[in-house]
Structure 1
Amino acid sequence: MKTHVKALVVGGGAVGTSIAYHLARAGWDTMLLERDELTSGSTWHAAGLLPYFNMSYATTHIHDYSIKFYKGLESETGLNAGFYVVGNLRMAQTDARMDEYMLYASTAETCGVPYEWLSPAQIKDRYPLVRTEDLKGAIYHPTDGYINPADVTMAMAKGVRQHGAVIERKWQVDGYDWTGSEWRVTVTKMVEKGGNLVPSDEQTVITAEHVVTATGNHAQRTAQLLGLKIPAIPVEHQYIVTEPDPALVEWRKSNPEHPVLRDADAKWYVREERGGWILGPYERNAPARFEYAVPDSFRADLFPLDLERIEEEYLSMIHRIPSSETVGLKDDYNGPICYTPDGNPLLGPAPGLQNMWLAEGFSFGITAAGGAGHYLAQLMVEGEAEIDMASLDPKRYGPWMTTEYAARKNEEAYEHVYILHHPDEERPACRPLRTSPAYDRQKAAGAQFGQVNGWERPNYYAPDGFNDHDSRSFRRGGWWQYAVDEAKAIRSGVGLIDATAFAKHRISGPGATAFLDWFTCNRLPKVGRINLTYALTSHGTTRTEYTIVRVAEDDYYLISAGAWHAYDQDYLYNAIMDKEPEFGRINEEDVTTQWGVFAIAGPKSRDVLQSLVRDADPETVLSNKRFPWLSMRNIELGMCPVRAVRVAYTGELGWELHHPIEMQNYLWDQLMAAGEPHGLKLVGARAQNWLRQEKSYRAFGTELGRDATPLEAGLDRFVDLDKDYHGKQAMLDIGVRFKCATFLIDGRSDADPWGREALYHGDTRVGRLTSGGYSVHFGKSIGMGYVTPDLAVPGTRMKVKMFDQLWDAEVAEDSPYDPKNATIRVDIG
């Protein structure tokens, strides 16, 4: 066995084999290790379905690559991958489900995924065995279907060997040790003993520049070996195979195979299998398994079938395919399928470790395996993938995540596979968990909370008795009017927003200034001032957005998006470790949980603060002269010391009030009392999101990410071309391929875009929205997105596709609301 490779892939399921294939094809010296036999984990008992359907832009690209890649494997390897291109028919029993499909279709369209719409009559005409009188319609993907998991894995394995890589079976990893330049991986030979697979006395060490873990159900063991928290824990998934259905057998004598059938409202998929049917339900109460480790006795094994748990789904299959009622059961499978709290895989660099890559938590592993291997190999070999992989990055879960949290959220994710995926959904499991001190006060005031990186954050405020769950919709939900009223309050009066979930870091020390000057693309602010800036990737695209407050000459306070806390911190920390020898000592301190943040904004915000501020000259302390826009001052509001930052994400006069978190309730009460005479209104994240689009403020994770540069995002004013910094030349080499623009949309009277919609110029699809919502100032829908530079010109007429129709849109000037920032800079009257 080789003892040194450039890349070591651990895990021989479909995902690991695909990663090894793509690394080997890229020219890397690669070895794949499997503790048992290839496919002996979840791969062997997977149903092999290849569904396109996914609301994630990145995941849709991954699935699309897989389906196209699998179709070409036989021509390369000579092995038939067992791909049956029968199509995928996803049926809908309700109008809301059809709305979901139409929103999904927008994502599919922006990724170039083909689809068709079928009416109930068309479904019945094509597939007469299917009952359709209670259906609203269906979306049909003609180019996917199902595949044999073992066959496709073996075809990829042959490709691995053809590209010069090595596959070693019956070797278990028992230790990882980073030497500073490579990984020393201790492996043990596994042997058969009494039907179990047990370690032998034979051990060796493999050194590798890079390691990828694709360990599936064994992810918790991997986490323990690496000293990480990996929220990938299996959940039971069962499916049954029926005896041949005489009606189906007769149908197939003169007709093609049915597509994979999905009745999402009944929570199941069905496909043909040797004249019978396979039923795969996603039922309630499926338990998580192996929360800490897989028992040594569990190999290619299954759990006992629990028919009572899937009785409802089984009866609904009989309803949908009446001929199946008299067919007996032939076989059953109940095996572990790994999940994550949001159902998306953990794919990318491991937090805090060099050259360690995770490919864990694949609940749809066969569907994703090909694309996961392709895009992860791009990340490893080229430094970046052609799509932004941040939404799949393992660091989207911070160190607060526990085993109990992961297990319960993974059970919820399994149950929600076929539950309506409203864009405004908020899943309830494991909540509340991370709460700011003012949580109870906000809840009492009617706050309807969302979860951001575990934090509870008000989305909007509603009166007593309001039900957030029942208010959700793919159109304007029951919460919409409350968000409108909150947005109007900030535009005309004053609103208070809880922004405590912001990530906050202190960077100080003799090397801090030189480091941040190299790390970010804007000039650094002077002491007491702030700047918006960006850290770039080595490829010149946007890696992180920061607001930098310069507290002292070599003391900086960095504010970034709360949803990306661990993701940003890891990048920042690694950069400091790399550059500290060059720049001198740099202190990095995560102070997120030390500081609470309230944002107060609106024309009357100064009036509210004026009554609380304690100063020798309280009448002028908040004036433009003493406290100009884009500056910071330490002030006192009553008895609370506050680091006040004059900036407002809403585009109105306003301040962020960073305060000691233990004083938050005191400050909240003071602000509420002081605001009452001025009509202060509590405001949630949804109204704030609309308001920032009226100002064309880009948001990280939507407009900003690793697939566009700051120049392409239209952030030229925050890019200093007169200094050198990380990623600058790469950014300039890219040029401007496309441009971010703001669109005012004459859309439906009952719906707004969500930020996933296709953009058309004439009959040609030319781009996509990345954000969407409603503009209270213009009284119409609004959105932001990317098109080619020639189209990103104010006044350009375009179309936005919503609910399968094209609606008029026009490119607005940047910051269509108050483009000269007069309201932000307004002084004391």
Structure 2
Amino acid sequence: MKTHVRALVVGGGAVGTGIAYHLARAGWDTMLLERDELTSGSTWHAAGLLPLFNMSYATSHIHAYSVEFYKGLEAETGLNPGFSVVGNLRMAQTDDRMDEYALYAATAETVGIPHEWLTPAQIKERYPLVRTEDLKGAILHPTDGYINPADVTMAMAKGARQHGAVIERRWQVDGYEWTGSDWRVSVTKMAEKGGNLVPTEETAIITAEHVVTATGNHAPRTAKLLGIKHPAVVVEHQYIVTEPDPALVEWRKAGNPQHPVLRDADAKWYVREERGGWILGPYEQKAPARFPYGVPDSFRADLFPLDLERIEEEYMSFIHRIPSSETCGLKDDFNGPICYTPDGNPLVGPAPGLRNMWLAEGFSFGITAAGGTGHYLAQMMTEGEAEIDMASLDPKRFGDWVTTEYAMRKNEEAYDHVYVLHHPDEERPAARPLKTAPCYDRMKDRGAQFGCVNGWERPNYFKPGAEADFDLTSRSFRRGKWWQHAVEEATALRETAGLIDATAFTKHMLRGPGAAAFLDWFTTNKLPKVGRINLTYALTEVGTTRTEYTIVRLAEDTFYLVSAGAWQAYDSDFIAKAVNDKVAEFGPMYLSDVTGQTGVFALAGPNSRAILSEVVRDAEPETVLSNKRFPWLSQRRIELLMCPVNAIRVAYTGELGWELHHPMEMQNYLFDRLMEAGEAHGLRLVGARAQNWLRQEKSYRAFGTELGRDATPLEAGLDRFVDLSKEFHGKAAMEKTGIRSKCVTLLVDGPDDADPWGREALYTADGTRIGRLTSGGYSVAFGKSIGMGYVRPDLAAPGTRLKVRMQRALWDAEVTEDSPYDPANARIRADG
């Protein structure tokens, strides 16, 4: 066995072999270790479906790559992966479900995934065994289908070997040690004894520059060995195989093609043909999480006891949809482990806190994702970044506050929700509330309907008189019941004043003699002077946007950094590693995460100065908030009655305003005083949804939507925050990339009952797809829909007429000037 490789992949399921294949194809010296036999984990009992559609842009790309990649494996390797390209028919029993499919289709269009719409009559004509009288319609994805999991894994394994990879079976990893330059991986030879795998006395040390873990059901054990936390935990999944269905057998004998994979999402199941019968895979409620602390040594390619009572409702609905199946007996059944994460998407990318350690864990659709994960993860490892933004799958989207109990409860919920309507405004209730700012109860009493950001409860909008119950009836694919509340909040902030809880912001302090030189190298903009702030960006190795920071310079060598609340662990890991790398070059510096110590209120609107004036205490209270003493884009320590506040004159909404950063323990005191002072000035509590609309009126880019690892700051139109006269990390790569697309703001003449969500494809008038939206919503200033997104550079000029796909129709849209609301910033600079 080799003892030194450039890349070591741990795990021999579909995902691991897909990664090994792509790393070897990229030219890296690669070895794969499997503790048992290839496919012996969840791969062996997977149903092999290849669903293309996904609400996630990154996951849709991964699935689309896999489907095309699998089609070429036989020509390359000589092994047939067992791909049946039969298509995938998603049926809908409700109008709401059809709206969901329209949003799926919008995302699919941006990726280039083909689809077609069918009426109930067309479904019946094509597939007469299917009952259709209670359906609204369906969407067909003709290019996918199902595949044999073992065969495709073996084909990828052979392809990996052909590209030079080594695959070793029956070796278990027992330890990882980082030497400062590579990993020392302790492994033990495993042998079969009495039906169990047991360790032998044969051991070895493998030195690897990079390690990728794709350990499937064993992910909790892997995390423990690495000393990290992540929420990949398995949940039970059942499916059954029927005896042959005589009606189906006759259908095929007559020369008819296979049925597509049939999905009745409202009934919570999929079904496909299998040797004249059917495979039924239900996603029932209350499937339990298993093995949260690790798979027992005695559990190999084993299954759990079947629980048919748990899937009785789904089984009966299957008989209703395909009546001929009622006479079919059960031929086989499976109840096996399938790994989940709280949001249902896998963990793909660098491990938190570690160097050259990569995770590929938590795949609930591992067969579909295996090829694409290998492709894009190999790009990240060998080229510095993938061609698509993989941040939404980054393992660090879940912080180290995630516990085993949290992972179990949320993963069970994710399983429950596979076929629950995925409203883009949904908020799932399991394990909530967990992380709450001190003012949570006060806002709850005022009707706050909360969203969850990095575990923090954050008001989405306020519904006076309502309990904070996640407001399930307000969800919609169009304008939900919350929409009018958000309109009123946005209007109030534009006309009087609004108070927003922004406590979830990620906040770091960086101080020390080397801090200024480091930040000057680390970020794109000029550093602010003491008492001032700036907006700036840290770049990836390939020059795209890695993180957005607001930098507040508190002293010559002391900086307060604010970044997106959803990305706390992601940002903290990134800057901590960079500081550690550069401390010898730039000098001593000390980084601390103060997110949990510092609360934030954003107070904005024409009356915000008047409200603050009532509570500010200063030797010259009449001028402390004036432009002369407290100009736009500056910072001051002020006292608001008994609460010391680090006030920053900036507003994400584009109105006169301040962010009030305060001691967390004083938050309720400050909240009460601001609400009291604001009563006479029309102060209204404002949630995240209204804020999102308002920032789009100002063309303020948001990290995770407009800003990400697939576009440079120059492509995002942020030239004014990039100082090309200095050298900074990623500059040369950014300049080499050039301008492939441009970020624009569009006003949309859309339907009367819907706004874009930021997942829609953009077209020219002649029907050519030229870009996609990354954000969407409603503009109270212009009385119509608004969106932001990326288009070809030649179509980015204000006044360009485009089309946007919403609810299966094309609607007129026009590119506006940047910051269509108050482009001169007169309101945000207003003096008092």
Give the TM-score taking structure 2 as reference length: 0.99
Give 1:463 shift: 2.2
1:533 and 2:536 correspond: yes
Equivalent of residue 749 in structure 1, options 749, 752, 757: 752
* Inter-partner Cα distance in structure 2 for 1:789 and 1:8: 41
Tell me what 1:812 maps to: 816
Give, as a single letter, the amino acid of the residue that structure 2 aligns with 1:683.
V
Tell me what 1:153 maps to: 153
Give, as a single letter, the amino acid of the residue that structure 2 aligns with 1:822.
A
* CA deviation vs aligned residue, 1:289-335 (integer Å, no higher than 9, x gap): 00001001100000111000000000000000000111110100000
* Inter-partner Cα distance in structure 1 for 2:278 and 2:464: 49
Give 1:572 shift: 0.3
Give, as a single letter, the amino acid of the residue that structure 1 aligns with 2:277.
G
1:800 and 2:804 correspond: yes
Give, as a single letter, the amino acid of the residue that structure 2 aligns with 1:701.
G
Tell me what 1:407 maps to: 408
Give 1:735 shift: 1.0
* Inter-partner Cα distance in structure 2 for 1:423 and 1:192: 49
* Inter-partner Cα distance in structure 1 for 2:295 and 2:538: 40
Give 1:632 shift: 0.2
Is contact 2:447-2:466 (8 Å) kept? no
Tell me what 1:773 maps to: 777
Tell me what 1:386 maps to: 387
**More deviation, 554-563/727-736:** 727-736
* CA deviation vs aligned residue, 1:668-689 (integer Å, no higher than 9, x gap): 0000000001111000000000
* Inter-partner Cα distance in structure 2 for 1:611 and 1:164: 72
1:301 and 2:302 correspond: yes
Taking only aligned residues, the RMSD between alpha carbons, in angstroms, comes to 0.6
Give 1:649 shift: 0.1
Give, as a single letter, the amino acid of the residue that structure 1 aligns with 2:181.
S
Tell me what 1:359 maps to: 360
Tell me what 1:641 maps to: 644
Is contact 2:230-2:400 (8 Å) kept? no
Tell me what 1:264 maps to: 265
* CA deviation vs aligned residue, 1:259-300 (integer Å, no higher than 9, x gap): 000000000000000110000000000000000010011000
SS at match of 1:533: strand
Give 1:120 shift: 0.2
* Inter-partner Cα distance in structure 2 for 1:591 and 1:691: 28
Tell me what 2:198 maps to: 198
* Inter-partner Cα distance in structure 2 for 1:730 and 1:36: 43
Tell me what 1:38 maps to: 38
Tell me what 2:492 maps to: 489
* CA deviation vs aligned residue, 1:160-190 (integer Å, no higher than 9, x gap): 1111111000000000000011100000000
* Inter-partner Cα distance in structure 1 for 2:268 and 2:480: 24
Give, as a single letter, the amino acid of the residue that structure 2 aligns with 1:559.
V
Give, as a single letter, the amino acid of the residue that structure 2 aligns with 1:11.
G
Give 1:465 shift: 3.9
* Inter-partner Cα distance in structure 1 for 2:400 and 2:825: 39
Tell me what 1:728 maps to: 731
Tell me what 2:579 maps to: 576
* Inter-partner Cα distance in structure 2 for 1:247 and 1:465: 53
| 1:479-558 aligned within 5 A | 479-558=482-561
* Inter-partner Cα distance in structure 2 for 1:224 and 1:491: 50
Give, as a single letter, the amino acid of the residue that structure 2 aligns with 1:414.
Y
| 1:184-223 aligned within 5 A | 184-223=184-223
Tell me what 1:346 maps to: 347
Give 1:230 shift: 1.7
Tell me what 1:696 maps to: 699
1:56 and 2:56 correspond: yes
Give, as a single letter, the amino acid of the residue that structure 2 aligns with 1:301.
D
Give 1:788 shift: 1.1
SS at match of 1:83: coil
Tell me what 1:289 maps to: 290
* Inter-partner Cα distance in structure 1 for 2:68 and 2:607: 57
SS at match of 2:537: strand
Give 1:477 shift: 0.1
- Give unmatched runs, 5+ long, in structure 2: none
Is contact 2:174-2:225 (8 Å) kept? yes
Equivalent of residue 660 in structure 2, options 643, 657, 660: 657
Equivalent of residue 596 in structure 1, options 596, 599, 602: 599
Give, as a single letter, the amino acid of the residue that structure 2 aligns with 1:735.
G
* Inter-partner Cα distance in structure 2 for 1:387 and 1:92: 31
1:130 and 2:130 correspond: yes
Q: How many residues align?
A: 828
Sequence identity (%):
81
Tell me what 1:171 maps to: 171
Give 1:457 shift: 0.1
Give, as a single letter, the amino acid of the residue that structure 2 aligns with 1:498.
D
* Inter-partner Cα distance in structure 1 for 2:145 and 2:736: 41
Give 1:193 shift: 1.0
Tell me what 1:336 maps to: 337
* Inter-partner Cα distance in structure 2 for 1:652 and 1:425: 29
Tell me what 2:633 maps to: 630
Is contact 2:189-2:199 (8 Å) kept? yes
| 1:677-716 aligned within 5 A | 677-716=680-719
* Inter-partner Cα distance in structure 1 for 2:18 and 2:750: 43
* Inter-partner Cα distance in structure 1 for 2:708 and 2:801: 26
* CA deviation vs aligned residue, 1:737-771 (integer Å, no higher than 9, x gap): 11000000100000000000111112111100000
SS at match of 2:207: strand
Give, as a single letter, the amino acid of the residue that structure 1 aligns with 2:194.
G
Give, as a single letter, the amino acid of the residue that structure 1 aligns with 2:520.
D
Give, as a single letter, the amino acid of the residue that structure 2 aligns with 1:328.
G
| 1:402-441 aligned within 5 A | 402-441=403-442
* Inter-partner Cα distance in structure 1 for 2:705 and 2:70: 30
SS at match of 2:442: helix
SS at match of 2:223: helix
Give, as a single letter, the amino acid of the residue that structure 2 aligns with 1:784.
M
* CA deviation vs aligned residue, 1:668-727 (integer Å, no higher than 9, x gap): 000000000111100000000000000000000000000000000000111101111001
* Inter-partner Cα distance in structure 1 for 2:141 and 2:673: 57
**More deviation, 562-571/511-520:** 562-571
Tell me what 1:760 maps to: 763
Tell me what 2:789 maps to: 785
* Inter-partner Cα distance in structure 1 for 2:26 and 2:618: 65
* Inter-partner Cα distance in structure 2 for 1:624 and 1:651: 16
Give, as a single letter, the amino acid of the residue that structure 1 aligns with 2:638.
I
Give 1:157 shift: 0.7
Give, as a single letter, the amino acid of the residue that structure 1 aligns with 2:826.
A
Tell me what 1:228 maps to: 228
Give the TM-score taking structure 1 as reference length: 1.00
Give 1:447 shift: 0.2
Tell me what 1:313 maps to: 314
* Inter-partner Cα distance in structure 1 for 2:433 and 2:466: 19
SS at match of 1:67: helix
